[in-house]
């Protein structure tokens, strides 16, 4: 997946408030590899849900930072 296309997908799945747990499907075509798993109001809840996953490297948390920048952890 190209970095630019990947960034656009992340921006599309980033909530205005709260935190989205997102997964990567490596078998999908570029542009549709990311998918929403669950929305959380608190970061700690999203982080705990990520830690509960079998392969944590295939999941990340998306959110908007203080200056409306897109953040990914």
Distance in angstroms (rounded) separating the CA atoms of residues 2 and 64? 22
> Which tens digit of pLDDT belongs to each residue from 29-71?
878 899 999 999 999 999 999 999 999 889 999 999 988 899 9
16 burial (CB, 10 Å; 0-12 / 13-18 / 19+) is exposed
Q: How confident is the model at residue 28 (pLDDT cuts 50, 70, 90)?
A: confident
Highest mean pLDDT among 3-7, 23-27, 59-63: 59-63
Mean pLDDT within 8-12: 92
DSSP state of 29: P
Q: Are 14 and 60 in contact (CB under 8 A)?
A: no
Which helix (H) or strand (E) segment holds residue 6: the answer is: helix 3-13
Q: Are 34 and 10 in contact (CB under 8 A)?
A: yes
User: Structural domain boundaries of the chain?
Assistant: 3-72
């Amino acid at each position: 997946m190209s970095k630019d296309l990947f960034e656009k997908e992340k921006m599309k799945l980033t909530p205005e408030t709260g935190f989205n747990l997102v997964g990567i499907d490596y078998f999908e075509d570029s542009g549709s590899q990311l998918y929403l798993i669950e929305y959380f109001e608190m970061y700690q809840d999203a982080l705990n849900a990520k830690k509960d996953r079998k392969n944590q490297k295939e999941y990340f948390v998306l959110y908007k930072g203080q200056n409306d920048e897109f953040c990914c952890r």
